[in-house]
Structure 1
Amino acid sequence: MKSFLYPKINPPSFTWVRPESDKVDKVHEWIQPITALTDPERSKDTEVVILGVPLSRSSISASGASEFPESFRRSWKNFATYNLDDDVDLSELTALDAGDVPMHVTNIQKCHQNIIDAAAAVQQHFSNPTVCGIGGDHSITAMMVKGMHLENPDEKIGILQFDTHFDLRDMSDNGPSNGTPMRNLIESGVVEGINMYNIGLHGFYNTKDLKLYADENGVNYFTLRAARKKGIEETVQQCLEELSSKVDIIYLTVDMDVLDIAFAPGVPASTPGGMTTEELLEGVLAAGRHPKVKAMDIVCLDPLRDTKDQPTVKLGTHVFLTFLTGVMLR
């Protein structure tokens, strides 16, 4: 069954059988697929909109991150809507799975344009949504932000990025890949470098020229070592305070390669020395609590690389639910 957002957004690749009773305990019972709606107009005030972005052909390293949206949906049955740590029940939010952005088999440029169009369509239909993009590789972030910018041209957008990498590679060498989304946004004039904040850089995974480019363009960044000394939550709050004084909308992007390889085996560019699970969840929760954070994405998670019990997929879903916990705590 097609949805009212088709063909800009395809119906979800996987949906759960809806419960007959009104009792909701698990995430798969709570999030409503768009195909279950009978009146599109009544959905305009939906609080959380999920958009699958199954693209990984634009990844520098071989990646099956395009498989995460479906694995993400299938993992929902493992999670309750109630968060014991913060005593909140996410089922009090209205959440809609809008489906997946359609992807061209070979044309990456077409895929990227489709993401822009889909992100804009979400902004057009829903009145004030918190948009959660489920990638896909990190190239999707630039396109999601561009789509948001199209529908909010007078509002300044800032970026809070959890990442091991700057993602500021030269576009002439790398094109619009997962190594260039932040440079893409700077060079396209959509986001100023001074309104980008990166937390989690560490070790030997960025060349010096990328640091120089970041410095020249005013990009703000905190190495993982510096963030740990200050405190992850305190660092995130500082970034949000500075951003909120300069921009109207904050977009959170979580590159799962920010995690240490011990915690995230299902990540193409995973490294030693990265964040712990606890640190990432602490940072995401703090970000979710800020009222100007209107959208987020989770990128570079490859279920095909994950181990048998899919701990990285489950962690990706945990990140999503933790972010929404922050939204509820506002």
Structure 2
Amino acid sequence: MKSFLYPKLILPSFTWVRPDDGAEAQKVHEWIQPLTAENDPEKSKAADFVVVGVPLSRSSISVSGASEFPEAFRRAWKGFTTYNLDEDIDLSEMTALDAGDVPMHVTDIRRCHDNIIAASAALHQHFGTSTVCAIGGDHSITAMMIKGLHQAKPEEKIGILQFDTHFDLRDMSDNGPSNGTPMRNLIESGVVEGRNMYNIGLHGFFNTKDLKKYADEKGVNYITLREARKKGIEETVFDCLEELASKVDTIYLTVDMDVLDIAYAPGVPASTPGGMTSAELLEGVLAAGRHSKVKAMDIVCLDPLKDTNAQPTVKLGTHVFLTFLTGVMLR
């Protein structure tokens, strides 16, 4: 396909054969349309949601097959309907496009990151009113997706709502642009101020004291999982978004699946005990999706190769995505 988006993007390695009988979509794989020559570029500008795969995990500190999630995510669509019984709404009433994947270099991580920035900028420029949903990949992709958003809309101040077990503020000189440094990367590059970052879900023995010190120095806002549970996940998210909305133009939601307890998400490279339950994460994501300033999101650090045969983590990651879209539709 020839268009301005390509070769910044490539067609996904896996696509569903969609029914051509004109029947109303009932399953997610029947609803999300691949971006093709027929609907690109002008006809697609009004899409409500745009999905892009970002299959990179070479930049992960721990061994990770998170690069396999975009394909596993697409394959999981067939197991979900577009109708959300809890909210009594049907996502198929909105338009969703699959823009394909960001191309990755075999060995050059910097080149991969540059490709993500370029693809993100192109998507946000073209789909100016659409919600862009990036499917990672490890957490290093978040910094690059946000840098692309910043390139596309330099006049907008960006804030971040982060669900995570970790600060992801490791020293760039020691770790480079890895999945342990995306938030520090954004702070040090001047793209996002520390005071406009809100991290929910930190817990246990999985962060060092020097990272907390750096967070405090930069004004990063963080709410431990214990604090969020006492207050209520939904209320915590709403309060964070209210504060953020008063300071920024655009809010980017990043969901690191390692925020979940290992019992709920075995397919995560850095899985830990004591994390969120599935219900807590879905509640938080739904609340985030309902806020009008949340205009982009990603799901990262989900490794299908570590998942069990039933693929519970892949299914949960897909559920997180659909729950976020439910929140957007509820606006």
> What are the within-5 Å matches in structure 2 for residues 136-285 of structure 1?
136-285=137-286
SS in 2 for 1:296: strand
State the partner residue of 1:11.
11
Cα shift at 1:110: 0.3
SS in 1 for 2:305: coil
Counterpart of 1:70 in structure 2: which amino acid?
E
The TM-score, its normalising length taken from structure 2, stands at 0.98
> What are the within-5 Å matches in structure 2 for residues 292-311 of structure 1?
292-311=293-312
Q: Does 1:123 align with 2:143?
A: no
Are the counterparts in 2 of residues 45 and 126 from structure 1 also a CA contact under 8 Å?
yes
SS in 1 for 2:100: strand
- 2-structure distance, mates of 1:126, 1:164: 32
State the partner residue of 1:66.
67
Counterpart of 1:143 in structure 2: which amino acid?
M
SS in 1 for 2:298: strand
- 1-structure distance, mates of 2:137, 2:191: 21
Cα shift at 1:38: 4.2
State how many pairs are aligned.
330
Are the counterparts in 1 of residues 264 and 313 from structure 2 also a CA contact under 8 Å?
yes
Are the counterparts in 2 of residues 75 and 317 from structure 1 also a CA contact under 8 Å?
yes
Counterpart of 2:9 in structure 1: which amino acid?
I
Q: Between 287-296 and 10-19, report the one with greater CA deviation.
A: 10-19
Counterpart of 2:43 in structure 1: which amino acid?
R
The TM-score, its normalising length taken from structure 1, stands at 0.99
- 2-structure distance, mates of 1:34, 1:298: 21
Cα shift at 1:37: 2.9
- 2-structure distance, mates of 1:184, 1:274: 25
RMSD over equivalenced CA pairs, Å: 0.9
Are the counterparts in 2 of residues 3 and 10 from structure 1 also a CA contact under 8 Å?
no
SS in 1 for 2:316: helix
- 2-structure distance, mates of 1:314, 1:36: 30
CA deviation map 1:195-244 (0-9, x unaligned):
00000000000000000000000000000000000000000000000000
Cα shift at 1:125: 1.3
Cα shift at 1:143: 0.2
- 2-structure distance, mates of 1:271, 1:173: 24
CA deviation map 1:6-35 (0-9, x unaligned):
100001221101112231100000000012
Q: Between 178-187 and 37-46, report the one with greater CA deviation.
A: 37-46
CA change 1:44–1:271 in 2 (3 A) is same
* Structure 2 spans left out of the alignment, 5+ residues: none
Are the counterparts in 2 of residues 159 and 253 from structure 1 also a CA contact under 8 Å?
yes
Counting aligned pairs with the same residue, the percent is 81
Are the counterparts in 1 of residues 3 and 40 from structure 2 also a CA contact under 8 Å?
no
- 2-structure distance, mates of 1:272, 1:322: 24
State the partner residue of 2:292.
291
- 1-structure distance, mates of 2:184, 2:72: 29
CA deviation map 1:284-305 (0-9, x unaligned):
0000000000000000000000
CA deviation map 1:71-127 (0-9, x unaligned):
000000000000000001000110000000000100000000000000001012113
SS in 2 for 1:131: strand
